[in-house]
Chain A
């Protein structure tokens, strides 16, 4: 009996362990070192960093905009100028940076913002508007990079694991609608976010101009496919007020410590010599005696020499290099500049829209701003404009070439111009992996594995998931 008692006692002891240990056992699973929710301001800052860095990144592994516009050439490893978009998974990488690293943080910020308290409800309204405008900006990049993309069924990981691809024009129209809705909500007398707004520091007037400038970009792209909608969108954006000075431009600032300008990271920090300006850029600017060359490129044996696009260009020392102008770690990523907006207004005027000026004047304003932006003197600017005035006989070439030069190193903005205006003429290199220059990025390879039915349906709808398939608005 005594032994049964002893054994039973021990049995009770064991089970007591369970009872006492139960209460603290699940609490062990809370990470003491890492937060599970963040303030919306930090999520905004994170999203702004990710979207800016990766929209501007010249690395061969992400967007290849500078090669789609043939402005940069490669040295020893020419695969990307030969339009190899498979080996390095550029479509997948850019897709992920936009959806997962940028948009998902905005979405989460919007949710977290609801639970935050602000002294003034108008500030909260502005904050929500900031998030909305930034979100629209990232969507614009995605649609104009890929075409039809997942939009309406996205960001619902508990319900929809395989979002369908929405028609690009429908997305465009929705984005324009969202811009129209958000700009009336903004309270311009009050600030939005504080230091977490690493672009405009809470200045809502600038956010509004920026939103209108996105609308201008979207509207102009529609010009060849829906002239009526295009005209209405563009005119209402310009009337409401678009970016009208460098101070209004969308510039993401880096501090050069942990976070540096992506061009700096790829030209300087990597300690590699992979990129030089292309022959096309050098020849085009040479023929115009363009004073910006002196700012951007170094001379070799007294002349500018560009790399052959799509080929090996060795040794590096034989070619013009990108100067110190591009090599600062603290230079901001200027993703929507005043110069670009001015060129868009000039183009609007050329198309017969009410753009607030004549084509020639707006053209001059745009070129002047680009010159000023690059530190060219007023005198040289005037000389340049005198030798290269607006040419109404071929407005697409006139505006197209100048816009392409002005958006050198602003890859995405530049690509919109070349696709829409078809100048300068881009020649598919002999060793190209594609049958023409790219008009879009193919879909992420992972989508075929993880969302196969939907991406395949989208591929069929757009006429083939190839880089050579044109976007819905790129009809000419």
Chain B
């Protein structure tokens, strides 16, 4: 401690001495050119050319103008930044996952989001199986001036450990009124509508109906066949319009088919008719006034969305206020506050269990008409007839049997949507206040406090009449229930910075920051539920619990990191730059013996174009290189065991078992990165090229290492593991045509990241990250890239698949590597054309590789939903699966399809069969806009009017994953890799945006 204080003091003193010396000379603060200035770490503005590391800037307009408003700016970064991999799933109000330069921590990791120099929370929240989105979606895109993506460790070293995965620096707009000093008003309005892209939803076969084998298992009183109600599969009897059968609606008194057998045919309205066209209305108002040193901007934004699923909607309101005011010519203040209130109904359930989408994709009967299910729900839920006899409205296609109307596995999808829905409200406030005092012309001091707080209140309902499912605190199966969750998160940052800048000689100057930061994070959550079901149907309250409620689950943590840092940037003749940073952190989540760690970075760049004489054809050429280290801390409470209550049994407290052994001797983790790059502009910026190559190594990762259960634990918290990432990033800009009226810009981004899990721990070669239904898991395996999929594969003999002679189906080799979720490369191409007031642009977003396991196909091919499972007479005759017997002879074992059911899918083929290459090429954004010429607007109060027709996800030009979108994963973070299950279909979104400026 003393050593720390001393060294810090020394630093401060030496820099102040230097300052004192510099004061002898007269300052010549050069005015920065406005072009080429980007905002970097800590809100420091730098000239882009002086930066020795890779970064990429997106202007606010490029973020939002060419696309429909998705409500989540993270998704709108897709395809625009080399090295930034954005995956956006289709969950309603769901998360987008951001990944820069590959996975660096074994647990996955997201970049840090910074607004005007202050970090904001971007955690994604996934509670049980509901995706509550990532917090970045709260940021109003109207406020954004620009986004600068800092990709490597050198760029983000000033942010400490959380900069390990890169930093996304968001800069908000300053108010700028009209030239005459009056208030400027901007109104914008947009309407978007979505249309399902049919390639992301199943195409059902229409030849066979309900059942696991092609016979009707029972007959009704009328002597006619009963549909195999309880079988949630379509490998049943062949359709025949001349055959009358008793279907689920035979038993529904409200149905026109009550006690009437109906023809055995495929349904007219399949599950695709379940969805609505999602519609979003966005309106925002901005009032601004002022000039540099004195400006104010106020924005209000409202977004109303009706979602794809019935009974889903979002109402989001955000307000923000930005004030810059110079209290005196030397004392500048800045204040920014943004508040978002969002109410959501009907978030999608993700994953395997109780997910209507999983039902549509894996367990469905092709004879069921979804519109008839809708009619049956609304008729039966009517309070005058809803009772236990009709499951309170849950009249399902999946009756247990002719005599028993309780649903076997699946609720009526409309009952599920209108009765078992979630609601949540989120309140988010991010505020900062800052004072900067210009002590001298070249030294200023800033004090800043920022506060980011969010409250989430979420409720889950399970209505009486539903199929029993795991619900609530205990996770026991119940038929009804109510659960609520309250989560409060906050982050507070206290910053003090001294910015200095002085000339050592006329041509050499140095600038930088000396500062300190204290950051506190806080979380407090409580989760409570009913137990054993609801006493009175329709009352969703904890008191309405059949069995005594378990004590609510409470979680609380406070973490604090104290930091100090120093930076120095030397500028030699505006041709050669060297930057150095050094940061020291002390973290509360590490043991006191090991809780202080420090790390440096050094970057350099040479403006070759100033040194050589190439200005006529190559107007800019820079070489850059850097090396940086970043330290990282642990999550809270890793140092001791923490027992969680599992309930009271006969008066005795029962606890959950500790699965992961804690480690009181944890050390900080560390990452080291080396990067070189070059940036070149040709023909007066008609061609611009930026290339970067980097190598990152992360060691001493804090991971939960799996261990043999013989130790008494399934894992152990440990510092272990080394993961290396190597990659390239390329940005290419072309301006093929540039004239007064007509410009054509092409921007290309491409990046490739090669990841390797180099080591975990002596003797351990695999770390399980996530398990997927269907016997596949996501792992970090030594010698492979992060994201190895392990599951069953075929057994091969001379390249042929081997058949098991005992069963006639394929032999399965368990525990094989069957894929990897890391893509080979990602990229995007954007074309923008403008002619007079018209602008046209489109963005193509691409990914090559990145394997995905589809549980939907694994089960759905076995249950016979997809048209591939009913080609020709495949189901009507015996089948000999293509392959060889163990002795090498061709397979000759004949399998019956009629009596015993399918020979596709999980009972026949290993999981490997259902691992698909996740490559895609998508037309991500397209827009046509027109900005009215000022001449047309003269005489009106409007001084700017712009209309645009925009589209998003208009066309999946190429994909390999059948019937689903390769980006539609289960959630954010670790849930965004490699698993396609029960996803919603993707919509092509079209919209119209209008913006007026008064």
Binding site for B on A (CB under 8 A): 1, 3-4, 6-8, 10-15, 17-19, 21-22, 25-26, 28-38, 41-43, 45-46, 49-50, 76, 79, 86-87, 95-96, 99-101, 103-105, 107, 149-150, 153-157, 160-163, 195-196, 198, 253-260, 265, 269-273, 312, 314-318, 431-433, 435, 444-451
Contact = CB atoms under 8 A, between A and B. Distances in A.
Contact of A28 (B23, B515, B588): B588
B393 interface: no
A426 B636 CA distance: 54
B709 A157 contact: no
Contacts of B766: 449-450
Contact of B8 (A14, A43, A196): A14
Contacts of A87: 775, 906
Interface in B591-635: 591-592, 595
Contacts of A42: 652-655
Contacts of A449: 706, 765-766, 815
Given A22-B1, A26-B595, A431-B807, 15 more contacts: A6-B439, A15-B5, A18-B562, A29-B589, A34-B644, A36-B643, A76-B231, A100-B713, A157-B661, A157-B713, A195-B650, A198-B652, A257-B648, A258-B649, A316-B400
Contacts of B556: 31-33
B588 A100 contact: no
Sorted nearest first, the 8 A-B pairs with minimum C-beta distance are: A11-B12, A104-B712, A271-B468, A150-B710, A14-B516, A258-B647, A451-B708, A34-B642
Nearest to B899: A312
Interface residues of B, number: 114
Nearest to B406: A271
B652 A41 contact: yes
A41 B26 CA distance: 78
Interface centre among A87, A154, A433 (most CB of B within 10 A): A87
Contact of A260 (B443, B476, B588): B476
A99 B710 contact: yes
Contact of A156 (B19, B406, B711): B711
Contacts of A150: 708, 710
Given A17-B562, A157-B716, A3 B467 contact: no
Contacts of B814: 86, 445
Contacts of B716: 157, 161
B742 interface: no
Contact of A19 (B5, B12, B403, B479): B5
Contacts of A11: 8-9, 11-13, 16, 514
Contacts of A431: 807
Contacts of A43: 655
Most buried by A among B586, B646, B648, B655: B655
Contacts of B213: 312, 314
Contacts of A255: 649-650
Given A3-B443, A35-B643, A317-B401, A312 B901 contact: yes
B824 interface: no
B230 A46 contact: no
A18 B564 contact: yes
Contacts of A50: 657
B17 interface: yes
A427 to B, nearest CB: 15
B477 interface: yes
Interface of B: 1, 4-5, 8-9, 11-13, 15-17, 19-20, 23, 212-213, 217-218, 228, 230-231, 400-401, 403-404, 406, 408-409, 439-440, 443, 445, 467-468, 474, 476-479, 496, 498, 514-516, 518, 531-532, 547-548, 550, 554-560, 562, 564, 586-589, 591-592, 595, 636-637, 639-644, 646-655, 657-659, 661, 706-714, 716, 761, 763-766, 775, 792, 806-807, 812, 814-815, 900-901, 906-907
B657 A101 contact: yes
Nearest to A11: B12
Residue in B228, B547, B649, B708 with the greatest tally of chain A CB atoms within 10 Å? B708
Contacts of A3: 16, 19-20, 23, 439-440, 443
A222 B52 CA distance: 75
Nearest to B515: A14
B805 to A, nearest CB: 11
Contact of B709 (A13, A22, A96, A312): A96
A25 B764 contact: no
B16 A8 contact: yes
A271 B467 contact: yes
Contact of A29 (B564, B588, B712): B588
Given A37-B641, A157-B661, A19 B589 contact: no
Given A160-B711, A451-B708, A22 B9 contact: no
A12 B10 CA distance: 10
Given A29-B636, A100-B659, A157-B707, A21 B231 contact: no
A202 to B, nearest CB: 12
Given A269-B468, A271-B468, A29 B637 contact: yes
A462 to B, nearest CB: 17
B815 A445 contact: yes
Contacts of B11: 11
A269 B562 contact: no
Contacts of A451: 708, 710
B76 to A, nearest CB: 37
B710 A257 contact: no
Contacts of A257: 531-532, 547-548, 647-649
A21 B558 CA distance: 14
A431 B592 CA distance: 60
B708 A49 contact: no
A387 B639 CA distance: 66
B992 to A, nearest CB: 48
A392 B532 CA distance: 51
**Which residue, A12, A256, A432, A449, has most C-beta atoms of chain B within 10 A?**
A449
Contacts of B12: 7-8, 10-12, 14-15
10 contacts: A11-B514, A13-B496, A15-B12, A19-B5, A26-B588, A31-B636, A76-B231, A104-B712, A154-B712, A257-B531
Contacts of A316: 230, 400-401
A100 B657 contact: yes
Nearest to B522: A28
A450 B708 contact: yes
A435 B805 CA distance: 12
Contacts of A318: 217-218
A190 B651 CA distance: 22
Contacts of B518: 17, 21
A156 B19 CA distance: 59
A100 B656 CA distance: 11
Given A35-B642, A45-B654, A255-B649, A8 B13 contact: yes
Contacts of A46: 646, 654-655, 657
Contacts of B637: 29, 31, 34
A18 B4 contact: yes
A474 B408 CA distance: 41
Given A45-B653, A160-B711, A254-B649, A25 B641 contact: no
Given A15-B8, A100-B657, A157 B554 contact: no
A419 to B, nearest CB: 23
A97 B406 CA distance: 33
A466 B348 CA distance: 42
Contacts of A157: 661, 707, 711-713, 716
B34 to A, nearest CB: 30
A448 B815 contact: yes
Contacts of B708: 150, 161-163, 446-447, 450-451
B437 to A, nearest CB: 10
Contacts of B562: 17-18, 21-22, 25
A436 to B, nearest CB: 12
Contacts of A103: 712
B711 to A, nearest CB: 4
B224 to A, nearest CB: 16
